[in-house]
Amino acid sequence: MRFFFLNGQQQTADSLLSKLNYVNGKEKVKILNELSDIYQNINTQQAIVFAEKGISEAKEISDDIGLAGCYGSLGYAYINLNNNKAAEYTNKALEIRRKINDKAGIATSLNVLGVLYYYEADYLKSIEYHLEALKRREEIGDPVKTATSYNNIALVNIALENYEAALDYLNKALKVRTATNNKRSIGIIKANIGKIQIVQNKTEEALETFFESLEINKELGNYKSVANSHQNIASVYKKLSKYPIAISYYDSALAIYYFQNEKNGLANVENGLAEVYKLIQQFDNAINHANIALKHAEEINSLENKLLALQTLFESYEQKNDFKNAYKYLNNYRTAYLDLKNNEKIKKLANVELNYKLEKLKKEQEQKLLNQNIYIFILLLTVIFGAIILFLLSKSSKNKKKANEELNKLNSKLIEVNKTKDKFLSIIAHDMRGPYQSTLGLSQLLADEFESLEQDELKNNIIILNSSLKNQYNLLNDLLHWAELQAGNFELDTENIELSKRVDGIISLLNLSAQKKNIKLVNNVNPTILVSADENMLKLVLRNLISNSIKFTHENGIVEITAVENQGKAEICISDNGVGISENDSKNLFKLDVHYTKNGTANEKGSGLGLILCKEIIEKNNGSIWVESEVNKGSKFYFSFPLANKLS
C-alpha cells in the first residue's frame, strides 16, 4: 500500500510539544490535556502518558479545572482497553466538575460514560447518560457538543435496530458539523450512516459513503477512524463476495488496530477475516482468526463478537471433520446464544426506557417553552404599558430623555426574550410519542412475553410498570409546579524469532492473492537466522511488504524473500519483478509530507497507510527500511531487525 495522508493532528501535536518546555502551571496542564485529546486518535498509549502527566502537574498546583480535564481524557483513553479504569477516571472527572459547577464539563463526562456503557452493550445506562448530556448541552446552548450527543444517541438506536430514528439523529448531527466544517466529526457521522445503508441493503451507497469517510479521515490523520473506514469498506466487499479485496482492507484495518491496541476494533476485524476465510474454505485460517477474535471479545466482554467467533469455530471444525472440537465450540456457542437472547430482552426494555426518557425530555422542553411564552406575554404587556407611560412623559421636555432611556431598556429586554424563545423553539424534538407511550410499550412487552417470563422477571417488569406510572404522575405534578413558579506508550514485546518460519506463515496467508495472478512466492531465508523483535509487528511488516509486491507484480511474476546477517542485524529483502518505481517516487515513499498512491497491476486500490506504518514499526524495533527500484524491472524493499543473541 503505497500512499500517505496528511497528518494534521500530528502537526498540531508537534506544535504543542514544542511549547511544553517553555510553560508552567495551569498553561502546562492545559497543553498536556490537549495533547492527550489529540493522541486519542493517533496513539492511545501516548494519550494515557500525557493525561497522567497532566494529572500529576494539576495536583501539585491545585488546578481543579485542569485535573478534571486530564482525568476525563484518561478515562476516555481507557475505553476498550480497561473499561473499569475508564469508568473510574471518568467518574473522578465528573465528581470534580460537579464540585466546581463546570456545566459543559459535566455534560462531557456524562457523554463519555454513555459511550463506555454503549461499548459494553448496557444500553439502558448508555441511554440514561446520553440523554442527560443532551439535555444539559441544549440548556447551555452548545450546538457543536449537542451534535456529538445526537451522534451517540443514533449509535444506541442502531444497536436497538431503530434505524429511522438513528438516521434522523445522524442527519441533525451532520447538519451542525457541516455548518461548522468539523471534518473529523463529519467522517465519523458518514461512517455511521453507511452502517445503516448496509442494513438497508443499499450496498453501493454504503460503499460510496465509507470511501467519503475514509478520505476525510486520511486527510486529518485520524488513525483509528481510518482503520474503522477500512473495516467498513471490507465488510461491504465481503457482502459483495469480493473476498481478496475484503481481506486487503481488513488487513489494513488490523495493522492500525494492533498498533493502537484497540481491542474492540481487533475483535471486529479478526471476526471479519475469519468469516471471509470460512467462506473461501480456508478453514485453518478461519480458525486462527476466530480464536484471536474470541480472545479480544472476552477481554472487553463483547457478547456479539464472542458469539460470531464461536459460530465460525464450530462451523470450521465441522467442515474439517474435527467433530470433537466442533461439538466443544457448539456447546460454547449455545451458552453465548442464551446470553444474547437475554440481552435481546434488555434491548426491548432499553427501547421502552428510551421512548420514556425522550417523551419526558420533550415535556420538559414544552413546559419551558410555555413558561417562556407566558413571560413574553407579560413582558409585552409591560412594554405596552411602559410605552403609554413614556408617551405621557414625553409631553414633558424635562422627562423626555429619561423616558427614551427606559424605552430602550424595555426594547432590549424584549429582544433578549425573543432570542430565548427562538432558542427553545429550535430544540424541541419532533416525532415524539404521547405521554403514555412508555407505559404502553412496557405493558405490550408483558402481554407478548407473559408465558416465557420467569416469576422473578414478571414481578420485576410489574414493578417497572408501577414505577413508570408513578413517574407520569410525578411529571404531572412537576408541570403544575412549573406553571406556578415560573415567570445545567506503546511498548514492544521483544522475543527471539525464527525469521524463515514467520515468512512461511505470511506466505500461507497471502497465497490466495498470489494465486489469483499466478505469482510465485519464494522463501529463501536461511532457517538459522534469528531476529529480536515484537512478533506481531514483524508479521505486520512482512504482510504489508509482501502484499505490496504481489499488488505491483504482473501475472506469472515472482516475489522472493531473502535475508543476510550484517553487523548485528538481519537485512531482509522482499523483491519482485513488477512495475517498479521511478527514482523521484522512491524518494517520496516514506515522507510524511508527500501523498503517494498508485493502483496495482490488476487495478487493486490501496489505502497507503502500510509503508508509513512499516517505517514506524521498524524504527521502533531499532531497524531501518529503504527501497531500490527501477521502472518496469521490479523493486527491492529492504528492512533490518536486530539479530537475536545466539547461545554458544
What is the Cα–Cα distance from 648 to 19, expressed in whole angstroms?
A: 50
CB atoms within 10 A of CB 250: 27
What is the Cα–Cα distance from 216 to 207, expressed in whole angstroms?
A: 14
CB atoms within 10 A of CB 524: 12
Mean pLDDT of 324-342: 70
Could you tell me what percent of the chain has a pLDDT over 90?
A: 24
Q: Which residues make beta-bridge pairs with 559? A: 521, 576
Which pLDDT score is estimated for 435? Answer: 46
**Helix (H/G/I), strand (E/B), else coil: 493:** coil
Reported as a single tens digit per residue, the pLDDT across 361-417 is: 555 555 655 555 565 556 555 656 555 555 555 555 555 566 566 666 666 655 554
DSSP at 280: T
DSSP structure string for 103-145? HHHHHHHHHHHHHHHHHTT-HHHHHHHHHHHHHHHHHHT-HHH
Average per-residue pLDDT in the chain?
Answer: 78
pLDDT class of 479 with cuts at 50, 70, 90: very low
What is the Cα–Cα distance from 343 to 350, expressed in whole angstroms?
A: 10
Q: Over 90: is that where the pLDDT of 540 sits?
A: no
Is the Cβ–Cβ distance between 338 and 310 less than 8 Å? no
Is the Cβ–Cβ distance between 354 and 118 less than 8 Å? no
Q: Which residues make beta-bridge pairs with 565? A: 570
**Helix (H/G/I), strand (E/B), else coil: 425:** helix
Reported as a single tens digit per residue, the pLDDT across 609-641 is: 577 778 878 888 888 999 998 888 899 999 999
Which pLDDT score is estimated for 263? Answer: 82
Could you tell me what percent of the chain has a pLDDT over 70?
A: 73
- pTM (predicted TM-score): 0.47
pLDDT class of 194 with cuts at 50, 70, 90: confident
Report the helix count and the strand count for the chain, using DSSP H and E: 24, 7
Q: Over 80: is that where the pLDDT of 506 sits?
A: yes
What does DSSP say about strands 569-576 and 558-566: parallel, antiparallel, or unpaired? antiparallel
Q: Over 60: is that where the pLDDT of 101 sits?
A: yes
Which pLDDT score is estimated for 202? Answer: 87
Which pLDDT score is estimated for 366? Answer: 56
Domains of the chain: 344-485 (no CATH), 494-642 (3.30.565.10)
Which pLDDT score is estimated for 529? Answer: 93
CB atoms within 10 A of CB 106: 22
Residue type, 539: K
pLDDT class of 643 with cuts at 50, 70, 90: very high
Q: Is 45 exposed, middle or buried (0-12, 13-18, 19+ CB in 10 A)?
A: middle
Of the two residues 124 and 8, the one the predictor is more confident about is 124
Which pLDDT score is estimated for 272? Answer: 92
pLDDT class of 474 with cuts at 50, 70, 90: very low
What is the Cα–Cα distance from 515 to 15, expressed in whole angstroms?
A: 47
Is the Cβ–Cβ distance between 429 and 150 less than 8 Å? no
Q: Which residues make beta-bridge pairs with 523? A: 561
Of the two residues 408 and 32, the one the predictor is more confident about is 32
Q: Is 51 exposed, middle or buried (0-12, 13-18, 19+ CB in 10 A)?
A: buried
Of the two residues 497 and 359, the one the predictor is more confident about is 497
Q: Over 70: is that where the pLDDT of 113 sits?
A: yes
Q: CA distances (Å), 199 to each of 5, 75, 162, in order?
A: 30, 32, 11
Q: Which residues make beta-bridge pairs with 469? A: none
Reported as a single tens digit per residue, the pLDDT across 206-218 is: 888 888 888 888 8
Q: Over 60: is that where the pLDDT of 418 sits?
A: no
Rounded to 5 degrees, φ, ψ at 336 are -65, -35
Which pLDDT score is estimated for 27? Answer: 92
Which pLDDT score is estimated for 509? Answer: 81
Three-state secondary structure string covering 603-639: CCCCCCHHHHHHHHHHHHCCCCEEEEEECCCEEEEEE
What is the Cα–Cα distance from 490 to 487, expressed in whole angstroms?
A: 57
pLDDT class of 591 with cuts at 50, 70, 90: low
Which pLDDT score is estimated for 379? Answer: 56
Residue type, 362: K
Provide the CB-side half-sphere exposure for 53 (13 A, CA): 19
Reported as a single tens digit per residue, the pLDDT across 118-170 is: 887 777 788 888 888 988 988 888 888 888 888 888 888 887 778 888 888 88
Cell representation of residue 486: 415560573
Which pLDDT score is estimated for 572? Answer: 95
Q: Residue with C-alpha cell 450527543?
A: 149
Most distant CA atoms of the chain, gap in Å = 112
Q: Residue with C-alpha cell 488490523?
A: 254
